[in-house]
Chain A
Amino acid sequence: MKRFLFFIFTVFLVFQRPAAAADSPQAHHAMAKDPLPCGEPVLACASVAAPYFTKDGTLYLAFAAGGKVLVALSSDYGRHLTPPVAVTPEPARIDAGADSRPSIVVDARDRIILAWSVLKDRSYNAEAFFSRSTDGGSSFSPPRPLTGDPASQRFPTLVLDRSGAVFAVWTDKRLAAAHGDAALAYAWSEDAGASFGPTRIVQSNVCECCRLAAALAGPGRPAVTWRNIFGGTTRDHALMTFPDPAADPATPGPIRRVAEDEWRIDACPHHGPDLSVAADGSYHVAWFTEGSARQGLQYAHSSDGGQSFSAPRSIGNPERQAGRPSLLAAAGRIWLAWKEFDGKESTALVMVSGDGGTTWSEPRTVGHTAEASDRPLLAAGGGHVFLSWLTRAEGYRLLPVEDKP
């Protein structure tokens, strides 16, 4: 019961900005000075990369480099990539870091839809944009704001519904002045990313500097997990699933607490969770905490639609800073990847469960690097499971995890 006292659910309808105001959404952003050593809009200079596989095994890679969002394709599992095409016409301060990257989905008709945010001031307030390609990535529509509010929007995350509709969710500070914390905001596109409908707000207390994660729990029913602020100070994880859209399309479901880690801290952890929903409907969540109840990287699963979760399981070596989880449920198995760092070298590790997350294989090192690196991300394509990892020294790699999912 207690957890319900922390929340007041309010739903607001906010209509999109008039088209005239969205003509050149980035024209007012000053040219960004890129603090990275390499500032060209090419993959070699990228700081983050997001993979998306279509059913035929084509890799669509979205990345941020040289102040632009770009997309490149590969039909041979990353060995060769097409020359990147810029989604954003003008350089801008793309919000791109370990916890922040462009989000990409590709629908059944190969239409590519992207969302990202652009930092607009000295306090990391940002504006979320979207764009799409209907010609297989040769060209992209002019970026348009996801929503029509001047308050900060970060971590836009897209999920493709089975109907072809596209769900977008992001952290949004339009109610922060009145409410104190950021909220979740979401919108649906019913026209394959040509436009997004009205923005709705899930009133919660979202930690504003951590990535959120979303996955499809059922037809028309996305689930979202994020670092929430419980009771004003406790930065533990929450999960919310949208109910049956036929019954009530506009109302979010109840917010559940994934685990009572009790991380009471007035700080930005810069470390968000990941979520995957398996074909049997089970939820799989991984997250980082430094709570009084437990510390380090954690994993839990739910077999009742996110109402209750298994006891958190500690993942990786805490002495090697295990963190930055990625989860993938495919073909009856669950993969969990993460990153460790020993002071000199970063390693990307993977383990797999064949019984819905109850028991796991030994962790296996899939890659390592001695320079800066992105968060390693699991992706399944063409009947294979890969770890997509961008590292400064080695470049972009799609590392095979196992031959068969």
Chain B
Amino acid sequence: MRFLLALALLLAASAAEAAAPQPFERGSFAALKERHAGKPFILHFWGLSCGPCLSELPRWAQFARDYPSLGLALVAADPVPEDPARIEAKLAKAGLGEVESYAFADEFVERLRYEADPKWRGELPYTLLIAGDGTTTMISGIADPARLRAWVASHIVTP
């Protein structure tokens, strides 16, 4: 439902164009978590500076198609904040142009990462699986699709 609403807004905002990533700043993680509270939510950190991330993006596009009602957001977390236009273009090319998307917009990247997960040391990709009750599982490195599916299966009440 939320996805459809977001999609409708996107389509209204720009005729079928991919949306530019929104700025991910201090406090953004808490706001995102709050907004998605009560439902399973996956936050995937990636970056243009990360070869494994780029090779994994098509898998995330497939995942988004497979679970259209699941809360999923992508955050470009490059060590040096990247130009949103480059991020937008890369996501659109990977088939992720319509997924909720953010980009680090603060050069104090240690702080942005710490707010998301104090244990996260900056490696990319990095994925947080946040259950409806806030219980968080982290995946460091490329995510095993079977593990993602198992997590979704065990946390989705109504698909």
Binding site for B on A (CB under 8 A): 33, 35-37, 47, 96-99, 122-124, 208-209, 265-271, 288, 290, 321, 323, 341, 343-344, 346, 371-372, 392
Contacts and interface: CB of A to CB of B under 8 A. Distances in A.
B139 to A, nearest CB: 10
B52 interface: yes
B82 A35 contact: yes
Contacts of A372: 106-110
Nearest to A64: B80
A269 B83 CA distance: 21
B121 A269 contact: yes
Contacts of B89: 122
Contacts of A122: 48, 86, 89-90
A187 to B, nearest CB: 24
A268 B80 contact: no
B121 A97 contact: no
B47 interface: yes
A98 B107 CA distance: 11
A290 B47 CA distance: 20
Interface in B107-159: 107-111, 114-115, 118, 121-126, 140-142
B64 to A, nearest CB: 20
A209 B49 contact: yes
B141 A265 contact: yes
A96 B80 contact: yes
Nearest to B79: A97
Contact of A271 (B80, B114, B122, B126): B122
Contacts of A270: 49-50, 79, 122-124
Interface residues of B, number: 36
B80 A124 contact: no
Contacts of B80: 35-36, 47, 96-97
Interface of B: 47-54, 79-83, 85-86, 89-90, 105-111, 114-115, 118, 121-126, 140-142
B51 A123 contact: yes
Given A96-B80, A208-B51, A343-B118, A267 B107 contact: no
Nearest to A207: B51
Nearest to A290: B121
Contacts of A47: 80, 107
Given A122-B48, A124-B51, 9 more contacts: A35-B82, A36-B81, A123-B54, A268-B123, A268-B124, A270-B49, A341-B111, A371-B108, A392-B107
Contacts of A344: 111
A400 B53 CA distance: 40
28 contacts: A33-B83, A35-B81, A35-B83, A35-B107, A36-B80, A36-B81, A36-B107, A96-B80, A99-B79, A122-B48, A122-B90, A123-B54, A124-B49, A265-B140, A266-B141, A267-B50, A268-B50, A268-B123, A270-B49, A288-B121, A321-B110, A321-B114, A321-B118, A341-B114, A343-B114, A346-B110, A372-B106, A392-B108
Contacts of A33: 83, 85
Nearest to A319: B118
Contacts of B121: 269, 271, 288, 290, 321, 323
Which 6 residue pairs spanning A and B have beta carbons closest together?
A267-B141, A372-B108, A268-B50, A265-B141, A97-B80, A35-B81
A123 B54 CA distance: 8
